[in-house]
A and B are shown apart, each in its own frame.
Chain A
Amino acid sequence: EAGVAQSPRYKIIEKRQSVAFWCNPISGHATLYWYQQILGQGPKLLIQFQNNGVVDDSQLPKDRFSAERLKGVDSTLKIQPAKLEDSAVYLCASSWGSYNEQFFGPGTRLTVL
């Protein structure tokens, strides 16, 4: 079974630029999550999708972050404009049911200069 795919793996941008990340979950997984992991901390949930609907985006900085999951499969997370404090690893995860564990992708390491 293929795992969660993410791209790009690394991205370096300057502040105020925009950036987009892509995620393809495990086939058949209805739930998709985007996390932000700052160095030395645990992941923090940014947004959760159930199929193509948003379940929770309470911690998404909506003035600069946006995410979509068209057709209930892959998803993109965008930051516009980026700030220095957005430097982090952005992890995508998926799960297929309410009580199943989440499976994480390799992450995208973002550096904002």
Chain B
Amino acid sequence: ELKVEQNPLFLSMQEGKNYTIYCNYSTTSDRLYWYRQDPGKSLESLFVLLSNGAVKQEGRLMASLDTKARLSTLHITAAVHDLSATYFCAVPIIQGAQKLVFGQGTRLTINP
């Protein structure tokens, strides 16, 4: 059974600081997705990582994928309050499948 684990589950940080959210998964996968969810809102797609070594950046967020280590990271640079949200990673249940298994989510709070 595929397990997707995020670390940490809760993160409180100050504006201007850097931090990394980790996503580990238990079986082989060629893809990984990152989503953002604001309180009471739906999920917004952030990144689609399609191969080993893939790195994508959007503003202050950068995501990477290491399929050999079964690990993805979401790095936040010089955090700002607007990035406060819950971040989810998701992995296909088997390679090539569309069914995704989501991590528990990392609730990020950025304080002024």
B50 at interface, CB cutoff 8 A = yes
Compute how far the CA of A102 lies from the CA of B4 in the bound complex, rounded to whole angstroms. Answer: 18
Q: Determine if A43 and B102 form an interchain contact, defined as CB atoms under 8 angstroms apart.
A: yes
| Residue pair A98, B103 in contact (C-beta under 8 Å) | no
Segment touching B, from A61-69, A71-79, A80-88, A104-112: A104-112
**Cβ proximity bits B3-31 to A, threshold 8 Å, 1 near / 0 not:** 01000000000000000000000000001
User: If A101-B45, A105-B42, A106-B42 touch, does A42 touch B96 (CB 8 Å cutoff)?
Assistant: no
- Tell me the nearest residue of chain A to B43, going by C-beta: A104
A residues in contact with B68, CB < 8 Å: none
* Chain A, residue nearest B34 (CB): A101
Complex formed: what's the CA distance from A100 to B104 in Å? Answer: 22
Residue-wise, chain B 85-108 has the 8 Å CB interface mask toward A (1 for contact) of 000101000001011101111000
Whether A91 sits at the interface, judged by CB under 8 Å, is yes
B residues contacting the other copy or chain, number (CB 8 A): 21
State A42–B4 Cα separation when bound (angstroms). Answer: 10
Complexed CA–CA distance, A98 and B4 (Å)? 20
A104–B50 alpha-carbon span in the complex (Å)? 20
If A91-B43, A104-B43 touch, whether A41 touches B105 (CB-CB below 8 Å) is yes
Complex Cα distance A40/B88, Å? 11
Asked if B48 is an interface residue, CB under 8 A from chain A, the answer is: yes
The reply on A95 being an interface residue by CB < 8 A is yes
In the complex, which residues of chain A have a beta carbon less than 8 angstroms from the beta carbon of B42?
Answer: 91, 104-107
Distance, CA A99 to CA B99, complexed state (A):
11
Assess the B45–A45 pair: CB atoms within 8 A: no
Inter-subunit contact B98/A98 (CB<8 Å) = yes
Besides A42-B103, A44-B102, A98-B96, 17 other A-B contacts (C-beta < 8 A): A31-B98, A41-B104, A42-B105, A43-B102, A45-B100, A48-B99, A91-B43, A93-B43, A95-B98, A100-B48, A101-B45, A102-B100, A104-B42, A104-B44, A106-B41, A106-B42, A107-B42
A selection of 11 A-B contacts at a CB cut-off of 8 Å is: A41-B104, A42-B4, A42-B88, A48-B98, A56-B99, A91-B42, A95-B98, A99-B48, A104-B42, A104-B43, A107-B42
